[in-house]
Amino acid sequence: MTDLAQIWVYLAREPLAALTVTLVAWLIALRAADAARWHPVANPTLVAVVLLSALLLAGGIAYRDYFAGAQFVHFLLGPATVALAVPLYRQWQDVRRSAVAVVAAVVAGGTVASATGIVIAWAMGATPEVVATLAPRSVTTPVAMGIAERLGGLPSLTAVVVISSGILGGAVGPLVLNLARVKDWRARGLAMGTAAHGVGTARALRVNETAGAFAGLAMALNALATALLLPLIWHLVVG
């Protein structure tokens, strides 16, 4: 037992341990999703987050220590985002034909998402700092954190809200779209990418390539539009 404890202490200090645990948690999450026949609630991202959170809490491991080892996965988010250009290129003709509708839908969806978070926070008596934290909740995490900091919000809390919104949107979004009888894959992709950013895009890509392409486009356009317009509107309204 002493030898095992020493091995654990050694591994806990090495970046490889955090990376390995992250990959194992993801593999378990994929198996769980397969076992549940990819039910929206069995979202791999949600399952992996729950597993990793439980492990960190049980082991008393600080998140910054874990992230120091798992940051290679974080680095891969960049290439993964760029790779979304591949399905977009394959669907380029559809994108060109729908350009005006795409821009209008994304701007409208992003505006409603931001306005909803702001109105609910104000109605519940939240402080301006918390309201600014929730304003960019439908934008991908790195962009949302930058916007929140610029508005005077809490970037770390914004990250939690954005990830939670993405997981919820990825799980519930397809069900809502089915209930609304939205069958066009372009419209479904735009809705998932705008409301649930990266998680929604991954979900759309798994279901249909056209939906995935439009989801990736919506995620990028929503991030760009929100980063440009939200700070301007915020300072005009709030001062």
CB 199 within 8 A of CB 229: no
pLDDT of residue 5: 55
**Residue 42's pLDDT band (boundaries 50, 70, 90)?**
confident
CA distance 73 to 86: 21
Tokens representing residue 121 in the block: 């926070």
Reported as a single tens digit per residue, the pLDDT across 191-206 is 999 988 888 888 888 8
CB 56 within 8 A of CB 185: no
CA-wise closest residue to 196 among 228, 176, 219, 227:
219
pTM as predicted = 0.75
CB 207 within 8 A of CB 186: no
Asked whether residue 10 carries a pLDDT value surpassing 60, the answer given is no
CB 75 within 8 A of CB 22: no
C-alpha distance from residue 80 to each of 33, 216, 233 (Å): 21, 11, 31
Please give the mean pLDDT across all residues of the chain.
Answer: 82
**Residue 188's pLDDT band (boundaries 50, 70, 90)?**
very high
CB 162 within 8 A of CB 117: no
pLDDT of residue 33: 84
Asked whether residue 224 carries a pLDDT value surpassing 60, the answer given is yes
Asked whether residue 175 carries a pLDDT value surpassing 70, the answer given is yes
pLDDT of residue 14: 58
